[in-house]
Amino acid sequence: MGNTTGFMDYQKVPVSYRNPGERMKDWDEIATLPSEEILTQQAARCMDCAVPFCQNGSELAGMTTGCPLYNLIPEWNDLVYRGKWKEAYVRLNRTNPFPEFTGRACPAPCEGGCVASLANDSVSIKNIERAIIDKAFEEGWVQSNQPKQRTGKRIAVVGSGPAGLASASVLNQQGHQVTVYERADRIGGLLTYGIPKTKISQIVVDRRVQLLEEEGVQFVTNTEIGKDVSMNQLRTENDAVILCLGSTRPRDMNIPGRNYKGIHFAMDYLSQNTKSLLDSNFADDNYINAEGKDVIVIGGGDTATDCITTAMRQNCRSLVQFDIYPTRPNSRAADNPWPQFPIIHKVDNGQEEAMHIFGKDPRAFATTAQTFVGDENGHLTGVKSSNIETNFDEKGKKIRKVIQGTEKFWPAQLVLLAIGFEGPETTAFDQTNITLTNRATIQVKEDMYQTDEDDVFAAGDAQKGASLIVWAIQEGKEAANACHEYVMRNGL
């Protein structure tokens, strides 16, 4: 590396956000990039660590550390440090087809595995990645690249989220004619309707889709496979199919009062809000509105935070977040050593906004909902909760126990369930021999992404389970390569 002492010479500058009071007035992206001078200094912090754990994604203790896309992070950090931004973009583009997505929406497990964090703080990899691709677009370096020849093979990709777009991109460059089917009215899947525009502007999604179209990928919207078009028809018309359906069946809470009006799944809340924003800037009033309501978000992950940012912009009256885990420590615990992903206390952008308005962290830690309470008209009026204790048995299995005497009532007219997902919807392949695993994900042959139907492949959350955007993109790439080998080997 150009500066072997950079990690000691410069302090880490983390991702910064616009002022909470200002950003809550709009739906624009909230993250901002520092100056090029600061970015160059931050790139200088990438040390000559010999074994860069940041660029090799793996799962430790059930969590991802390092980059599943195998991004050549030290190499493009060094190029940024030396002012060679275009070369840095070329190097980044070798492994990551969509760095503008990961640079905005990835939780950066690469930083969790950064060797520099053993000395002080990790390199701000995510910031630099976004800076590289944003500069590449600004300078016009990102251009459509049509394949030199076509194979004559036709492949259908079902789902246009990060896994589907990655599969389509790779297969198209290999010369196949690719058609992507999306049941929604816009392309992007999770990128469009699952992640608020405060994280990823729709312009960022649309410009990448436009590039893929220019390269020859065809997109079909408002078409649900298994309903509008049968899987049999899709398989007949194509040489192979890749299912990138996502993990879209939300996990529910079957507790008393679940049927009261005012209880919604988080993704219904988020997607309806975003669609109304994009369609009419909320003029159609076709969304779930938190305005003037006491809101409780149940869940502790990124989707829960997205619900908070949305409810805050809708001017909710109050907001509480139930997190089933206790407060995390401020630094790594003994049972969470490097290079595992650090499980530490963080205040995300949603909590920061709630604190700005209400004066305190909205989270109720180690808390679980016990009963939903409503009125005689069937409308939600509140939630009864209890504190909960989480332990692990000798096999590492979680054991949770409600602590008696900790019951509490919380007023609420809107509850948002953000407690995870249980696998893909099966409508698309109900009439096939495709089976599910005991985790309700699509069964595939190991490392082949091939389902029980030889000409049908599956990738992303649909076969891995709900995970990170970087895993979805990498799986989309790998499934595309497996599909390519299949259609070329079989001479279809």
Per-residue model confidence as pLDDT tens digits over 158-210 = 999 999 999 999 999 999 999 999 999 999 999 999 999 999 999 999 999 99
Greater confidence, 36 or 490?
36
Same domain, 443 and 358: no
User: Quick one: 410 and 376 in the same domain?
Assistant: yes
Residues 108 and 158 in one domain: no
Is 82's pLDDT higher than 90? Answer: yes
Mean confidence (pLDDT) of the chain:
96
End-to-end CA distance of the chain: 48
Do 387 and 451 belong together in one domain?
no
Domain boundary among the residues 365, 383, 417 is at 417
User: Does 253 reside within a domain?
Assistant: no
Same domain, 435 and 468: yes
Mean pLDDT of 103-110: 96
In a domain, 147, yes or no: no
- What is the predicted pLDDT for the residue at 2? 66
Q: Is residue 255 part of a domain?
A: no
User: By three-state DSSP, how is residue 476 classified?
Assistant: helix
Q: Which percentage of the chain shows pLDDT scores above 70?
A: 99
Query: Same structural domain for residues 431 and 347?
Result: no
Element (H, E) at 463: helix 461-464
Residues 110 and 203 in one domain: no
How far is the C-alpha of 235 from the C-alpha of 332, rounded, in Å?
50
On whether both 405 and 426 belong to a single domain, the answer is no
DSSP letter for each residue of 103-171: HHH---HHHHT-GGGGTS----HHHHHHHHHHHHHHHT-------S---S-EEEEE--SHHHHHHHHHH
Residue 428 has pLDDT above 80, yes or no: yes
Q: Which residue has the tokens 């990124």?
A: 302
pLDDT of 368 reads 97
Q: How far is CA 227 from the centre of its chain?
A: 27
Residue 164 lies in a domain: yes
Please indicate, yes or no, whether residues 33 and 10 belong to a single structural domain of this protein: yes
254 lies in some domain: no
Q: What is the mean pLDDT of residues 328-339?
A: 94
Do residues 409 and 428 both lie within one domain? no
**Cα separation of 479 and 237, whole Å?**
20
Instruction: Examine the fold and report which residue of 112, 139, 166 is the final residue of a domain before the chain moves on.
Output: 139
φ/ψ of residue 385, rounded to 5: -120, 170
The amino acid occupying position 125 is: I
- How do residues 349-366 score in pLDDT, each as one tens digit? 999 999 999 999 999 999
Q: Residues 6 or more apart from 378 whose CB is under 8 A from it?
A: 259, 260, 261
Task: Indicate whether 223 pLDDT > 60.
Answer: yes
Strand 177-181 to strand 154-158: parallel, antiparallel, or no bridges (unpaired)? Answer: parallel
Residue recorded with tokens 């908070």:
308
Would you say residue 396 has pLDDT above 80? no
Higher pLDDT, 4 or 112: 112
CATH number of domain containing 196: 3.50.50.60
Task: Using the structure block, give the residue that is written with the tokens 């799986």.
Answer: 475
Note whether 116 and 5 are within 8 A (CB): no
For residue 1, the model assigns a pLDDT of: 66
148 in a domain, yes or no?
A: no
The pLDDT of residue 256 is above 80: yes
User: pTM above the 0.85 mark?
Assistant: yes
Residue 145 lies in a domain: no
Last residue of a domain, one of 77, 109, 139: 139
| One domain for residues 405 and 441 | no
Q: Calculate the CA 50 to chain-centre distance.
A: 30
Tokens found for residue 228? 């509008």
Q: Is residue 258 part of a domain?
A: no
Backbone dihedral angles phi then psi of residue 191, each to the nearest 5 degrees: -65, -30
**pLDDT, position 246:** 97
Question: Quick one: pLDDT band at residue 50, thresholds 50, 70, 90?
Answer: confident
Please give the structure tokens belonging to residue 263. 């209880």
Q: Which domain covers residue 470, as residue numbers?
A: 154-248+422-489
If one counts the domains in the chain, the total is 3
Cα gap 342→345, rounded to integer Å: 9
pLDDT at 491 over 90: no
215 & 355 share domain: no
